Amino acid sequence: MQLAGPGVFGPPKDRDVALAVLREAVALGVNHIDTSDYYGPHVTNQLIREALHPYPDDLVIVTKVGALEAFYPAEAYHQDYLTLHPNQPYIAYNDLPKVENLKKLFADNYIEKPTLVNASKATN
In a domain, residue 122? The reply is no
Element (H, E) at 23: helix 15-27
In a domain, residue 114? The reply is no
Active-site positions?
39
Contact, 8 vs 39, CB < 8 A?
yes
Report d(CA 11, CA 17) in Å as an integer: 12
In a domain, residue 20? The reply is yes
In a domain, residue 115? The reply is no
The pLDDT score that the predictor gives to residue 48 is 93
In a domain, residue 43? The reply is yes
pLDDT averaged over 10-residue windows placed end to end, the chain, 124 residues: 81 93 94 82 88 91 66 66 80 83 84 60 45
Residues of the domain holding 94: 6-105
In a domain, residue 117? The reply is no
The pLDDT score that the predictor gives to residue 117 is 54
Number of domains in the chain: 1
Report d(CA 124, CA 122) in Å as an integer: 7
Strand partners for 40? 9
Of 49, 69, 19, 123, the C-alpha closest to 1 is 19
The pLDDT score that the predictor gives to residue 124 is 43
